[in-house]
């Protein structure tokens, strides 16, 4: 089953949230409908980045890697220039 690592950006205060899900659209709706305590105070969110993985283990590993960036240069580069040109939602396949 495919699993996605995604990055959301708050329209309220521009904070980012990194997560993992098999259904990114459904998860985004849950975040925006206050179904997640950790993200509720910062909603609404926009999806700004996603990567698809073949399995949950690989996706969780990537999620931890992205979270380890802690908003540093690697994180900023990932969200600002996801395909080397900047802008737009990216869905990178890691199969």
Please give the average per-residue pLDDT across 52-81, as a whole number.
92
Structure tokens at 60: 């969780």
Tell me the pTM. Answer: 0.85
Average pLDDT of the residues of the chain: 87
Tell me if 63 sits within 8 A of 5, measured CB to CB.
yes
- Using CA atoms, how far apart are residues 51 and 32, in angstroms rounded to an integer? 20
Residue 94: per-residue pLDDT: 53
Instruction: Encode pLDDT of 15-39 as tens digits.
Output: 999 999 999 999 999 999 999 898 9
* Share above pLDDT 70 across residues of the chain, in percent, rounded to a whole number: 85
């Amino acid at each position: 089953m495919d699993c996605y690592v995604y990055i959301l950006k708050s329209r309220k205060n521009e904070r980012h949230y990194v997560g993992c899900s098999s259904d990114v659209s459904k998860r985004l709706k849950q975040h925006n409908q206050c179904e997640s305590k950790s993200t509720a105070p910062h909603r609404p969110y926009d999806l700004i980045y996603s990567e698809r993985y073949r399995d949950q283990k690989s996706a969780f590993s990537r999620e931890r890697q992205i979270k380890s960036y802690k908003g540093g240069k690697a994180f900023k580069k990932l969200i600002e220039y996801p395909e080397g040109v900047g802008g737009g939602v990216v869905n990178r396949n890691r199969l």
